[in-house]
Structure formats: structure tokens, C-alpha cells
Amino acid sequence: MHLRPSGKGIRQVLGDLEAEIMELCWKESPCSVRDVHERIARKRPIAYTTVMTVMSRLAEKGLLERQRQGRAFLYVPTASREEFCSETVSVVVRGLLGGFGEPVLSQFVDTIGNQDAAKLDELVRLIEERKEAERSAT
């Protein structure tokens, strides 16, 4: 997984067309290449084969599942949008913590505090909830 800090949301880990296709598939699943192509073509010109290639690659990456229906394929996301986002964040955080450790935590807190002090309070609340859940489990 490659992180693109200049992207917004899922576009930090997916290309623009990949993200657009995934958003469409999450909204209307199952969907065919034709369905997706028609939706995107309403906004801008795009080749059918381009959409087909990107959807095939998303299936190869394990983000879409391809199901044969007659002569065509229908595509279904392998995870919900929320599951995809959660897993992506988990992979990124584990990678950062494994490579940098404490500086990552410090920078995380600084960044949150600089953006919104109320989010620091939320972070403290979440940490306390987690600690309480772990105490209750033992």
C-alpha cells in the first residue's frame, strides 16, 4: 500500500479513478463495468476499457470480488467502506509505529492538538475506555 499524503480520504491509498469506482460499488452493489462506466461517463469522457481495466485491477488487489453472470461479470466490494477505511488506517498506523515508535505517538498528539483541542479530549476519553475494557476483561 502506498500512502499519498496529498490525497483526501481513500484517495490517500487509491488512485482517483480507483476511489471513484469503489465509491460507486459501495453505493450500488453488485455492479457491472457497464453500470460503472455509464455513471462516470455522465461526468466526463472515459473509455469503457479503462473502467474495465481498473475494476479488474481492484479485483486483483482483493478490493472487489468478480462474479460471473452470463457473459458478463458483476463486481461486489469485499469489505464495506467503513471496514476498508478501518483496515487501511490500521495498516498505516502499525507501519508507522513499527518504524518510528514514540516519535509517531508524539507527532500524532501534536497534530491532533494543533487541529482541534477538543479532539485531544476525545482521544483521552477513548484511551480511558480502552483501559477500562482491558481491566474488565482480566
In angstroms, the CA 80 to CA 67 distance is 17
pLDDT in tens, 6-51: 777 888 889 999 999 999 999 999 999 999 999 999 999 999 999 9
pLDDT in tens, 71-123: 889 999 999 999 999 998 888 888 878 777 788 788 888 888 888 888 888 88
Q: With 90 as the cut, is the pLDDT of residue 55 above it?
A: yes
The whole-number pLDDT of residue 42 equals 96
